[in-house]
């Protein structure tokens, strides 16, 4: 059974069609990566899947249930199914880092603060954040550290499916390897199904199984990671090389 299925999902903002009939199947345990130029709807796609942005038409299924359509949104019936790393980290400004990470455990699962704090600290350690940050507030740590705290917040919930939006942007090269490895390990060892939006070739190499290319609201290429790195498809070649000249209009 698929973990997630999108059937003909469309979304416009005003007259601008951001998603144009997306069909997508993600199987259990699969690691799917999404690439595409900036502004092409990758983050919007993830937010539609989470039920944060309403869709105009089509259906989004979790396993064998249609959870979201134009007329209904049952996403709240699946707490803990998705873990999300938002592109902008989206930490709570008014909470210290440890409580940001423990938030879902305490307020979602009703776990006592002491136990939740221990779990939060263990997960912060996994993403390479030291004990020093636990009592700091998001504005007191760097962007890369915020990203890692946000990753810890998603991982600590042990969701069935992880959505990563640009997990490695803003990280230094060493931390990039650590986070790539951590995501790859999470997917493999904990058999989490994952969707990862990334522009980063090292992240694709480490994390992706299948890759799709989103452009102007449609999936215009789909293939294995090996195919992505060897194909002569002009869109993929331009994307891989970061070339200015090519079929993408920049
Ligand atoms: N809530 C919103 N209201 C209106 N327009 C929006 C909204 N969210 C996104 N958009 C528009 O939808 C388009 C796609 O945005 P999205 O954030 O999905 O791009 P992206 O592919 O994630 O880009 P990037 O690689 O830069 O993160 C953009 O033109 C953006 O301005
Ligand atoms: Mg985005």
Ligand 1: which atom is nearest the Cα of residue 14? 4
Element (H, E) at 73: none
Q: Which of 101-105, 161-165, 184-188, 234-238 has the lowest mean pLDDT?
A: 184-188
Tell me if 34 sits within 8 A of 45, measured CB to CB.
yes
| Test site for ligand 1: of 12, 41, 219, most ligand atoms within 8 A of the Cβ | 41
Q: For residue 19, name the pLDDT band (cuts at 50, 70, 90).
A: very high
CA distance 246 to 227: 19
12 alpha carbon, closest ligand? 1
Which domains does the chain possess? Answer: 1-76+198-250 (3.40.50.300)
| Test site for ligand 1: of 9, 19, 42, most ligand atoms within 8 A of the Cβ | 42
Ligand 1: which atom is nearest the Cα of residue 36? 21
Pocket of ligand 1 (CB under 6 A): 13, 18, 36, 38-44, 87
Ligand 1 centroid to residue 56 C-alpha, Å: 16
Q: For the residues 20-30, what does the mean pLDDT come to?
A: 96
For residue 116, pLDDT over 70 is answered with yes
| Test site for ligand 1: of 13, 49, 50, most ligand atoms within 8 A of the Cβ | 13
Q: For residue 250, name the pLDDT band (cuts at 50, 70, 90).
A: low
| Nearest-5° Cα angle at 212, 243 to 27 | 160
Q: What is the pLDDT of residues 46-58, one digit of tens each?
A: 999 999 999 999 9
Which of helix, strand or coil describes residue 140?
A: helix
Tell me if 210 sits within 8 A of 219, measured CB to CB.
no
For residue 113, pLDDT over 90 is answered with yes
Q: For the residues 23-32, what does the mean pLDDT come to?
A: 96
Q: What is the pLDDT of residues 204-228, one digit of tens each?
A: 999 999 999 999 999 999 999 999 9
**Torsion angle defined by CA atoms of residues 101, 104, 105 and 106, in that order, rounded to the nearest 10 degrees:** 100
Q: For residue 188, name the pLDDT band (cuts at 50, 70, 90).
A: confident
From atom 24 of ligand 1, which residue's Cα is the shortest distance away? 38
Who surrounds ion ligand 2 at CB < 5 A? Answer: 42-43, 87
Q: How much is the pLDDT for 69?
A: 97
């Amino acid at each position: 059974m698929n973990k997630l299925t999108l059937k003909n999902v469309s979304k416009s903002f005003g007259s601008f069609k951001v998603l144009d009939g997306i069909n997508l199947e993600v199987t259990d345990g699969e690691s799917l990566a999404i690439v595409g130029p900036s502004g092409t709807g990758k983050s919007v796609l993830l937010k539609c899947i989470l039920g944060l942005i309403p869709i105009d038409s089509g259906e989004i299924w979790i396993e064998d249930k249609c959870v979201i359509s134009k007329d209904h949104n049952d996403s709240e019936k699946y707490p803990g199914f998705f873990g999300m790393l938002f592109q902008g980290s989206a930490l709570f400004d008014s909470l210290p880092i440890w409580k940001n990470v423990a938030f879902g455990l305490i307020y979602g699962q009703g776990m006592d603060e002491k136990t939740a704090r221990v779990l939060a600290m263990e997960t912060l350690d996994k993403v390479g954040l030291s004990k020093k940050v636990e009592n700091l507030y998001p504005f007191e740590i760097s962007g890369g550290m915020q990203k890692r705290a946000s990753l810890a917040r998603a991982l600590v919930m042990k969701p069935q499916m992880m959505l990563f939006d640009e997990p490695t942007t803003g990280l230094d090269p060493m931390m990039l390897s650590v986070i790539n490895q951590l995501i790859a390990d999470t997917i493999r060892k904990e058999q989490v199904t994952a969707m990862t939006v990334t522009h980063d070739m090292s992240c694709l190499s480490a994390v992706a199984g299948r890759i799709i290319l989103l452009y102007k609201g449609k999936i215009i290429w789909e293939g294995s990671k090996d195919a992505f790195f060897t194909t002569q498809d002009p869109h993929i070649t331009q994307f891989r090389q970061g070339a200015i000249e090519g079929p993408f209009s920049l």
